Amino acid sequence: MSKFLNLAALTFAVGLTGTTAMAEPTGLGRPATPDEVAAWDIDVRPDGLGLPEGSGSVADGEPIFAERCASCHGDFGEAVDRWPVLAGGIDTLTSARPVKTIGSYWPYLSTVWDYVHRAMPFGDAQSLTADETYSITAYLLYLNDLVDDDFELSRENFTEVAMPNAEGFYPDDRTETAVWKNRAPCMTDCKPEVKITARAQVVDVTPDDPTSKHSMAAPATDEAAKEEATQVAAAPAVDPALVKAGEKVFKKCKACHAVGDKAKHKIGPHLNGIFGRAAGTAEGFKKYSKDMQKAGADGLVWDEETLATFLAKPKSMIKRTKMAFAGLKKEDDLTAVIAYLKAMTE
């Protein structure tokens, strides 16, 4: 590797000599138990270290992907909105708009398994079993045309899968470039003329800033702040502790749903005005399942009771709802999140 590591290796050797001389443990902390290490040591490396027992096929992966992943990544890994594209992009790395996917860019399959297992699905991390993760990984390989549809991935055959871009990376070489070697900056008469070649105002993508002091907006006064505080305090006759608890539960929802002032549709519809509204009819939301729309047409209206039933187990009420959420198991969580939604939408 580069100079850095050579130099660093030297430092390390010196460091080690020092270590043996002064590494008298203080005794702070305590030994980790084997169960504790097993609970947290979830990482997987390219050589397969860290992979648990298990397996899963492309066929197993398809329905799991459809239920847990497709709402953001699309049924074929093509992605919804600005969520990451997972498939395709082969031969685009030298183009003006490279598409960096698992198939076109990621050098190791272990990275896929590790990441899906530790951080996905978004908003419900670390909920996938080892077999489910093998299945999703197999399906992702299939979506990228890297395996056939009868492929099964397991701990045993895992390291046999080679990724197309495995050789696509090399160590940092910035210190070997012309930029690094230029050590004599010019101070006077450095160039004959200067022309503007690009302008941000033409691109026009900077967010507007209503609070800028150059808009000379009046600062919020204490009176205004107090008035707002009184209004908030006087408004709802609900249990604030319950609403607070509901806000925490809503964290499970907010990857896909927004509620309250300025809420917009995300993966799921915003929830303002949900109470008293027919299912599947939020204005401007176009991604409802057919089943959800039908339920609304058949008379399903959202109230505390219907929401409680739906949120306890969405798919038992609306069979093919696109909401990829298993449901709230605890009665307390249900009550709290509904109280929160009421407080936020009234």
**CA proximity to 237, closest of 336, 343, 308:** 343
**Which of these segments, 55-63, 121-129, 143-151, 304-312, binds another protein (CB under 8 A)?**
121-129
Instruction: Say what the alpha-carbon torsion angle 124, 344, 283, 257 is, to the nearest 10 degrees.
Output: -10
Q: Which of 35, 202, 283, 286 binds another protein (CB under 8 A)?
A: 202
Beta bridge partners of 152: 57
For another protein, which is the closer residue by CB, 182 or 299?
182
Angle at 94 between CA 90 and CA 98, to 5 degrees: 60
User: Is 76 near another protein (CB under 8 A)?
Assistant: no
Looking only at residues 311 through 340 of this chain, which bind another protein when binding is defined by CB under 8 A?
none
Sign of the torsion formed by the C-alpha atoms of 165, 167, 172 and 173:
negative
User: Which pair of tokens denotes residue 113?
Assistant: 């398994």
Q: How far is the CB of 304 from another protein (least distance, A)?
A: 27
* CA atoms of 11 and 9, how far apart (whole Å): 5
Verify binding: residue 217, another protein, rule CB under 8 A: yes
Contacts of 111 (CB under 8 A, 6+ apart): 46
57 within 8 A of 141, measured Cβ to Cβ: no
Smallest gap, in angstroms, from Cβ of residue 140 to another protein? 13
The Cα 71–Cα 184 span in angstroms is 54
The reply to whether 35 sits near another protein by the rule CB under 8 A is no
- Exactly one of 35, 148, 150, 197 binds another protein (CB under 8 A); that residue is 197
> What is the C-alpha to C-alpha distance for residues 315 and 311, in angstroms, rounded to an integer?
9
262 binds another protein (CB under 8 A): no
Please identify, using beta-carbon distances, which residue of 287 and 319 lies nearer to another protein.
Answer: 287
Which residue, among 27, 48, 52, has the nearest Cα to 38 in the 3D structure? 52
Residue 259 CB, nearest distance to another protein (Å)?
14
* Nearest to another protein of 54, 107 (CB atom): 107
Binding characters for another protein, 143-172, by CB under 8 A (x = yes): -------------------------xxxxx
In the complex, the smallest distance separating the C-beta of residue 217 from another protein, rounded to whole angstroms, is: 7
Stretch that binds another protein, among 53-61, 182-190, 232-240, 299-307 (CB under 8 A): 182-190
Check residue 212 for interaction with another protein (CB under 8 A): yes
Binding-site member from 52, 107, 236, 273 for another protein (CB under 8 A): 107
For residue 56, list its beta bridge partners: 153
For position 285 contacting another protein by CB under 8 A, the verdict is: no
Q: Which of 259, 274, 264 is nearest to 310 (CA)?
A: 274
* Residue 111 touching another protein (CB under 8 A): yes
Instruction: Check residue 54 for interaction with another protein (CB under 8 A).
Output: no
Q: How does DSSP classify residue 113?
A: H
Nearer to another protein, 46 or 236 (CB): 46
Using CB under 8 A, which of 53, 75, 76, 93 touches another protein?
93
Asked if 227 is part of the footprint of another protein (rule: CB under 8 A), the reply reads no
CB 284 within 8 A of CB 264: no
